A = this chain, B = another copy of it.
């Protein structure tokens, strides 16, 4: 998992807000969508980027997809920034 992927994921306000919302606990895509003014498909692409960076995990619950914050990945990324290391360029 490249630190670039993580920073790319963190670079958009909507995606950071998603993480902030998930901090209080897992939520379905639909519940998350309720907090934004953008279309569901657009939001879905944001979810995909967070997933690609491994910042969130998904689990299906019936017809819903439940998103969880992957706290450890986020914290590791930040620790890396504090020491300002770059695994790759």
Q: Which A residues contact B (CB, under 8 angstroms)?
A: 4, 7-8, 10-11, 13, 16-17, 19-20, 23, 74-75, 78, 81-82, 84-86, 89
Contact = CB atoms under 8 A, between A and B. Distances in A.
Contact of A78 (B4, B19, B23, B78): B78
B7 A10 contact: yes
Chief secondary structure at chain A's binding surface: helix
A62 to B, nearest CB: 28
A85 B11 contact: no
Given A23-B84, A81-B78, A89 B11 contact: no
A89 B18 CA distance: 11
7 contacts: A7-B13, A10-B11, A11-B11, A13-B86, A19-B84, A23-B84, A78-B82
